[in-house]
Amino acid sequence: MRANFKIMILLAVVCGGGAVWAGGRWLDNASAARLREIEAAQPSVTFGTLMVAAEPLRFGAPLSRQSVREIPWPQGDLPPGAFATADDLFKDGDRTVLYPLEEGEPLFASKLTGPGERAALSRLISDGNRAVTLRVNDVAGVGGLALPGDRVDVVLTTADVAEVILQDVRILSIDQMADEKSAEPMVAHTATVEVSPEAAQKLVLAQSVGSLSLVLRRAGEVRAAAFRPISIADLTTARETENAKAELPPTPPATDATVWVRRATELTQYSVPVRDGGPSRRVTPPDAPAAPAEPAADVPPSSSAPIAAGEPQ
């Protein structure tokens, strides 16, 4: 009896272990099949490389193999103008940085010079625009706080008038410094700005007829504002006083009339409002009449009667 019991326990253990093993194999096979289905449904991605900056680079910095590096990148999604390998970047000669680059930022041909070229300011000018240099000082140049890449308005000042002649003008360089990432303020003597050909002519003419000042705009502001020329008369309060007087409403005409009331021998004057808003009437009081010998029998002395305006009786 005891032997049969042991055999039954052994068979139960064997059957249970076999069931667990078979279930695990089935789950593994099902998971593997599902994984193969998912992989088959997804498109295959072939990775290549993309050239990025290995360190912060500023305007005019020469590129070298130590200042760039390769990162994995989907081969079919390479951005236009980017470089896949260091050989593509340096195969025709060394290049120079035209725009500031941060570490890990992709290298594009538009932000670099051509092979063997130097970092000239002309490469920063947009198509169709021109660069004009203005004479400035520590005051006209916003105290040296206007830097390359900032946006300014240009104000022309003549003998007695100041007027904004250009708005939202981009500064290309201050003196010989064109690095947009420079944070060092400097007292400038010249500022080179990017404008349209017509605006370039306007600036050249404006420098010969008056002085030009730069007005720094808020970063990101692109809305053009409406300005009127400011003259010397606007610097005093006389003009504001005249404008305030012109805005005052006209004084309304008097809206009262004069009424005379006689009480016995006493004549009294009253001012009565006119409802239709007509002009006021002033009546000269008449001479007081002589006192009667005795009051009428039918009218007591204290009685009074109003009369029409201007017609005392």
**Domain co-membership, 140 together with 236:** yes
Which among 202, 203, 194 is positioned nearest to 129, based on CA atoms?
A: 194
pLDDT for position 294: 54
Pick from 185, 148, 140: nearest CA to 169: 148
Q: Whole-angstrom Cα distance, residue 180 to residue 183?
A: 8
Q: Are residues 177 and 115 in the same domain?
A: no
Instruction: State how far the Cα of 109 lies from the Cα of 98, in Å rounded to an integer.
Output: 10
Is residue 108 in some structural domain?
Answer: yes
Question: What mean pLDDT is predicted for residues 76-84?
Answer: 88
Residue type, 153: D
Same domain? For 58 and 133 the reply is no
Q: How far apart are CA 106 and CA 111, in angstroms?
A: 10
Structural domain includes residue 25? no
Q: Which two tokens stand for residue 17?
A: 């272990």
Tens digits of residue pLDDT in 117-164: 777 777 788 889 999 998 887 666 566 677 888 899 999 998 889 999
Number of structural domains (the chain) is 3
- Domain edge (last residue) among 202, 219, 244: 244
Are 157 and 225 members of one domain?
yes
Dihedrals phi, psi of 182, to nearest 5 degrees: -70, 130
At 125 the pLDDT is 84
Which three-class secondary structure string do you get for the chain?
Answer: CHHHHHHHHHHHHHHHHHHHHHHHHHHHHHHHHHHHHHHHHCCCCCEEEEEEECCCECCCCECCCCCEEEEEEEHHHCCCCECCCHHHHHCCCCCEECCCECCCCECEHHHECCCCCCCCHHHHCCCCCEEEEEECCCCCCHHHCCCCCCEEEEEEECCCEEEEEEEEEEEEEECCECCCCCCCCCCCCEEEEEECHHHHHHHHHHHHHCEEEEEECCCCCCCCCCCCCEEHHHHCCHHHHHHHHHHCCCCCCCCEEEEEEEECCEEEEEEEECCCCCCCECCCCCCCCCCCCCCCCCCCCCCEEECCCCCCC
pLDDT for the residue numbered 295: 52
What is the CA angle 206-210-216, rounded to 5?
75
Domain coverage including residue 133: 127-244
Q: Which residue, 71, 91, 119, sits at the end of a domain?
A: 119
Its pTM stands at 0.51
Tell me if 249 is assigned to some domain.
no
pLDDT, the chain, mean: 78
Do 211 and 109 share a structural domain? no
User: Can you name the residues that pair with 166 across neighbouring β-strands?
Assistant: 154
Q: Is 204 in the same domain as 279? A: no
Q: Does the residue 95 lie in any domain?
A: yes
**pLDDT digits 0-9 by tens, 16-49:** 888 888 888 888 888 888 887 777 776 677 888 9
Same domain, 108 and 160: no
Domain boundary among 244, 267, 286: 244
Per-residue pLDDT at 22: 83
